[in-house]
Amino acid sequence: MSDRRTSFVSRAGAVALTTAVASLGCVVGADPAASWASLGCKWDHVGPTYWNDAYSQGGYGNGFDNMVGEWNSQNTPVDFKKIGAGDESKADMRYIAGAWGSDYDWYGKAINADVCSGGIYPNGVQHVAVSINRTYTDGRANNPNNAVITHELGHALGLAHTPSTSPPAIMYQGVGYDYQGYWTPRTDDVNGINALY
Ligand SMILES: [Zn+2]
């Protein structure tokens, strides 16, 4: 699908956001202390709903809920809401974990499927899928993997990659394989969300 935008934390360091980052909402230059950038799409509401489909995947299900909690506890308007069993199809987002093998060169990804209409993600029916690739994350400590989840949630909210670790950002493009010692949103990430929402 040509309008599908895929973003990921690459194992090799390559960045898939080649078409999304450069021209959309980047504030580099406006403020040297900021590096966050927009994917060019966001939700029209500040309580995006999610279906967690990873509870059977070891600690990955609880890890996702915990990192949702980390985003929700930040000083932003965003408040992710978990959707209950039976209402899965109504969720804005779906979260899955799986071991997809080394043919897939990413630790985690957020696929924003179908249309981004006027800069807004369509609501419901799990248009955005957040995935973590257990091929690379199994056997690691929790916090490097939590960093991947928090990073993908940042994509799901509309944040793009930041190119470096200065200022520190969970949206640093290499955080999946180049863990920086934090797994919760940093000030730059929060500033980005507050600019978007
Ligand atoms: Zn990413």
Domain ranges of the chain: 5-196
Contact (Cβ atoms closer than 8 angstroms) between residue 155 and residue 127: no
Q: Is 169 exposed, middle or buried (0-12, 13-18, 19+ CB in 10 A)?
A: buried
Which backbone phi and psi does 151 adopt, to 5 degrees? -60, -45
pLDDT value of residue 27: 44
pLDDT value of residue 127: 76
Instruction: State the distance from the centre of ligand 1 to the C-alpha of 86, rounded, in angstroms.
Output: 30
pLDDT value of residue 32: 60
For the chain, list the strands marked E by DSSP.
5-10, 49-52, 81-82, 93-98, 106-112, 128-133
Cβ atoms within 10 Å, residue 12? 9
Instruction: State the distance from the centre of ligand 1 to the C-alpha of 8, rounded, in angstroms.
Output: 4
pLDDT value of residue 51: 94
Contact (Cβ atoms closer than 8 angstroms) between residue 150 and residue 67: yes
pTM for this model (two decimals): 0.84
Ligand 1 ion: Cβ-proximal residues, 5 Å cutoff:
7, 9
Cis omega (within 30 of 0) for bond into 167: yes
Per-residue confidence of the chain (197 residues) as pLDDT tens digits? 222 333 444 443 333 333 333 333 444 445 667 899 999 999 999 999 999 999 999 999 999 999 999 999 999 999 999 998 899 989 999 999 999 988 888 899 988 766 688 889 888 877 788 999 999 999 999 999 999 999 999 999 999 999 999 999 999 999 999 999 999 999 999 999 999 99
Q: Domain spanning 5-196 has what CATH number?
A: 3.40.390.10
